[in-house]
């Protein structure tokens, strides 16, 4: 990319290297082939706005994103604009959960809507901010998109159980951010990783059951909900780990 890099040029001409500001490359050959195919069928402004969004996201999140996001996000933006132009608007079923659980990514999604409007003159509905956010989450964790949706749903179910005991966490707070961060990684482990141990530390379990009975009870309720509604098992080790964090919430709020 560069200002005026294609001025006076035709296909096959060499670019003026003094005009080059940025060079993008993809190491994955299959991803590169898919991206080339995508480029051949899209207006360049769609590619440019997607690149700006991804560059902004990397800076704001301070993390590396899977390079497939250049394909998936560009394709999503193109499809979203096409649907909008044909008045085919669909609500994102997990909009509220994404907005609540991935606040940094969602704010980038809101910024993305402004960039898209500046480049194309089309203002997409706010639901699209959450759809863009989930693509970024997917690229952060290097998931398949299906796994990202499942993880978001699982976080929502666990958090709703906890909020039924600690309603003060429904509002914005550092404790809520801290707990959600833990639930994200817990959901990742439950969905995609084999448990390191089925059983927790026996001494820790005995101590927690004796001195932190309420926190253990809530962790068990979370595990029961996940098992009943998702068919997923939360191991005793995960339950104890969660109970430790819940006890900290109790101490902070003096419950």
pLDDT in tens, 2-39: 888 888 888 888 888 888 887 777 777 777 777 777 77
Is 25 part of any domain? Answer: yes
Structural domain range at position 241: 147-253
Whether 131 and 237 share a structural domain: no
5 in any annotated domain: no
* CA distances (Å), origin 208, targets 192, 201, 217, 241: 27, 10, 10, 10
Domain count for the chain, please give it.
2
pLDDT at 216: 93
For 138-159, write each residue's pLDDT tens digit. Answer: 888 766 667 788 888 899 999 9
Q: What is the CATH number of the domain that holds 196?
A: 1.10.1790.10
Domain boundary pick from 112, 142, 172:
142
Percent pLDDT > 90 in the chain is: 30
Question: What residues contact residue 29 under an 8 Å CB cut-off, 6+ apart?
Answer: none
Identify whether 105 is part of a domain. yes
Q: Both 162 and 221 in a single domain? A: yes
Same domain flag for 152 and 94: no
Report whether 132 contacts 126 (CB < 8 A): no
Cα–Cα distance between 150 and 3 in angstroms, integer? 42
Tell whether 94 and 183 lie within a shared domain.
no
Domain boundary pick from 142, 163, 183 = 142
- Please list, in sequence order, all residues whose beta carbon lies within 8 angstroms of the beta carbon of residue 61, skipping any fewer than 6 positions away: 104, 105, 108, 136, 140
Backbone angles phi, psi at 153, to 5 degrees: -65, -40
Residue 194 has a pLDDT of 64
Answer for the pair 83, 89: CB distance below 8 angstroms, yes or no.
yes
């Amino acid at each position: 990319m560069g200002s005026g890099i294609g001025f006076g040029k035709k296909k096959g001409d060499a670019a003026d290297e003094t005009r080059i500001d940025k060079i993008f490359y993809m190491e994955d050959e299959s991803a590169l082939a898919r991206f080339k195919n995508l480029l051949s069928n899209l207006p360049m402004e769609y590619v440019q706005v997607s690149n700006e969004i991804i560059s902004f996201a990397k800076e704001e999140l301070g993390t590396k994103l899977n390079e497939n996001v250049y394909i998936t996000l560009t394709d999503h933006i193109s499809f979203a604009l096409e649907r909008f132009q044909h008045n085919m608007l669909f609500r994102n079923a997990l909009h509220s959960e994404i907005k609540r659980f991935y606040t940094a990514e969602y704010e980038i999604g809101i910024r993305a809507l402004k960039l898209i409007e500046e480049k194309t003159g089309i203002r997409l509905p706010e639901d699209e901010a959450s759809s863009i956010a989930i693509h970024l989450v997917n690229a952060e964790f290097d998931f398949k998109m299906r796994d990202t949706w499942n993880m978001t749903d699982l976080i929502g179910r666990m958090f709703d159980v906890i909020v039924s005991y600690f309603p003060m966490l429904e509002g914005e707070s550092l404790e809520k951010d801290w707990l959600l961060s833990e639930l994200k990684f817990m959901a990742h482990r439950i969905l995609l990783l084999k448990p390191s141990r089925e059983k927790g530390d026996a001494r820790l379990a005995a101590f927690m059951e004796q001195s932190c009975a309420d926190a253990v009870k809530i962790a068990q309720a979370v595990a029961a909900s996940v098992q009943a509604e998702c068919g997923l098992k939360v191991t005793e080790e995960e339950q104890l780990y969660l109970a430790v964090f819940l006890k900290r919430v109790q101490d902070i709020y003096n419950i």
